[in-house]
A and B are shown apart, each in its own frame.
Chain A
Amino acid sequence: MGNKALNNFLICGLIILIVSFFPLVSNNFSIRFGTDILMFAVMASAWNIIGGYTGYASFGNVVFFGIGAYITAILMEKAGLHFGIAYLAAGGAAALFAVLIGLPVLRLRGHYFAIATLGVAEAMKALVQNLDITEGNAGIYLPMLDLPVRHQYYFFFYMMLATLVLTLLVTYLLLNAKLGYSFIAVREDEDAANSVGINTTLSKTFAFALSGFFTGLAGSIYAYQQAFIQPGPAFTVQTTVQMIVMAVFGGMGKLFGPLLGALCIEMISETLSNYFLVAHTLFFGTVVILAIVFTPKGMIDLITQHKFGIAYLLQNIREHRI
């Protein structure tokens, strides 16, 4: 490990330490808001593995979130299992589903993959709405966490933080391993990757499963936190959109891009909803449009290039307009 890598690790450790003191000095509302940011950071980072690094734009990642949430609800409420077991099972089930669905669907490329995953998520929502074990549209209540209210907020915050750290750590380690390089090779030129002997099917499926695993973990914590889940909110396309917008806004294919995106987007929508009660989603749409037109490479690119100002924004338009 080089000096620079060691430095980066120390900085990251310091940031994690600072963030973990955040709940101790904040009110419940802020902790809940922080937990939401962390949750979206997990999901956007997980999406980044398949969408950013491997280049397969999944438009159905919410399916893993929903599966994670429902597995947790069913195991805890119907089987009476401990949250710890349900948490791991949720990630495992989401990863398994990713493998099963990935094997046929990952053969498709570009738009077709995007729409197939969208279809899988919608089909899963419709299935959950009709199954008995998921209690259809009525939804499932989960047992409440048996802790004082303040400590509940702590619990979910630290669970989410730990999941985020795990997600980023695994992604980081992978990127410096052969498997991680194969993800990027698939993104840059899948046929070429294949012809030099990379098992692209294995790489893609693994990336998809990993993405599903972490999204499932986030869904599991979310379900326990909400203590009640329904198919509509658990499988909404909106969640997928949020993951993608955050990853792209921050910078897809960069380790910390999605985290930065989640932070920025959540801050922006929270501020907007404070000022504009009804119309804040309208402004959110505007932010998405402006960000895509002016900074398609994401905030990370803007920061690391040190190119602030109009010239940078216009350069992107010049490159991509017709």
Chain B
Amino acid sequence: MLLQIVTNGILKGGLYALMAIGMSLIWGVMDIINIAHGSFIMLGAFTTYWLFAFFGVDPFISLIFSMSILFIFGYGVQKYLINYVIRANAFITLILAFGIEIFINNLALVSWTADVRKVEVSYGASNFSFGDMITIPTVRLLAFVLVIVISLVFFYLLNRTNLGRSIRATSQDLDAARLAGVDVARTYAVTFGLGVGAAGAAGTLWSILFPISPMMGGILTLKSFVVVIIGGLGSMLGPIIGGLALGVTEALGTNWFGSTYENLISFTILVLVLILRPKGILGGAT
């Protein structure tokens, strides 16, 4: 029983981790708190939903589409909007992101109504069993594997390519990076695009596992905050550890206290981690 709960927590935590990877990247590199992150996740989820509903595209295949579309969208948003205020007080970008969130959510609401939808794949009911102890729905396992694959791709991109080097250089010292010939404006746009693309991927996986609606983004943004804070900024490992930690704690907590306490648990953890270990559980003590 306990093993099953922990397994469920880890599987959901994987999704949390993917949500947070994008947010952590944008936050760490550009010091932007992307309040609209959940809205981008929602857009990814709906991309998958419409591809599935109209063309019967399997959600695991439409992952590629939602990532690409959201990457282009994010690139555009950074290049033609956020880049114009990026050097103002960090607080200004925060409110700009709020404006973007209101805009996207309500555009989705007007276009698609507030209906709750779900991507019902034919293999949704099949299970994977490990002995008598643990049963895992196949889609959850597949989603978790994809989370790992996408994380590895991001890790490779950031640490082993020229693009990753220019992103890291820009995040360390903007002026020095510019002197060394990095096109900073473009690097910012690509970084935001990557972060939003990861959000799109998370949205796709979310739409397979849970119901979706235009207003689903708010709580996902908050959950992403919690994960980023728990894991700490500045490494790829942070969001993953944070995501798994949140997933398992929530699973155990709702088992002990009841599901109405899920949000209370996550936000209490958020505040406690911030107060006790502001740099995350991986970061050094302050």
Contact = CB atoms under 8 A, between A and B. Distances in A.
Q: In terms of DSSP, what is the predominant structure of the interface of chain B? A: helix
What class of interface size applies to chain B in its complex with A?
35 or more
Nearest to A124: B267
B218 to A, nearest CB: 7
Given A120-B271, A129-B260, A319-B87, A289 B96 contact: yes
Nearest to B225: A115
Given A108-B274, A321-B84, A285 B96 contact: no
B187 to A, nearest CB: 10
Contacts of A245: 95, 98
A266 B18 CA distance: 38
A245 B97 CA distance: 12
Contact of A293 (B96, B102, B107, B271): B96
Contacts of A111: 27, 31, 33, 90, 94
Contact of A118 (B107, B185, B225, B268): B225
B92 A112 contact: no
B274 A115 contact: yes
A237 B98 CA distance: 11
Given A108-B278, A285-B106, A115 B229 contact: yes
A320 B33 CA distance: 17
Given A285-B100, A321-B86, A292 B274 contact: no
A249 to B, nearest CB: 9
Contacts of A110: 90
A286 interface: yes
Given A116-B275, A322-B184, A322-B185, A244 B84 contact: no
Contacts of B92: 248, 292, 296, 320
B198 interface: no
Interface in B228-286: 229, 260-261, 263-264, 267-268, 270-271, 274-275, 278
B91 interface: yes
A300 to B, nearest CB: 16
Contact of A288 (B99, B104, B109, B275): B99
Interface in A74-130: 104-105, 107-108, 110-112, 114-116, 118-120, 122-123, 125-127, 129-130
A129 B184 CA distance: 46
A281 interface: yes
A266 B96 CA distance: 19
Contacts of A278: 110
A284 interface: yes
Given A104-B275, A289-B81, A119 B96 contact: no
Given A105-B275, A112-B274, A286-B103, 19 more contacts: A105-B271, A116-B270, A116-B271, A119-B226, A123-B263, A123-B264, A123-B271, A126-B260, A279-B110, A281-B102, A281-B106, A285-B101, A289-B81, A289-B99, A292-B95, A296-B85, A320-B84, A320-B87, A322-B83
Q: Identify the 3 closest CB pairs spanning chains A and B, nearest first.
A: A285-B103, A285-B102, A288-B99
Interface of A: 57, 104-105, 107-108, 110-112, 114-116, 118-120, 122-123, 125-127, 129-130, 237, 241, 244-245, 248, 278-279, 281-282, 284-289, 292-293, 296, 317, 319-322
28 contacts: A108-B274, A108-B278, A111-B27, A111-B31, A115-B225, A115-B229, A116-B271, A116-B274, A119-B222, A119-B267, A119-B270, A122-B263, A122-B267, A123-B264, A125-B263, A244-B98, A248-B92, A279-B106, A281-B109, A285-B106, A286-B99, A288-B98, A289-B96, A289-B100, A320-B88, A322-B87, A322-B185, A322-B188
Interface of B: 27, 31, 33, 81, 83-92, 94-96, 98-104, 106-107, 109-110, 184-185, 188, 218, 222, 225-226, 229, 260-261, 263-264, 267-268, 270-271, 274-275, 278
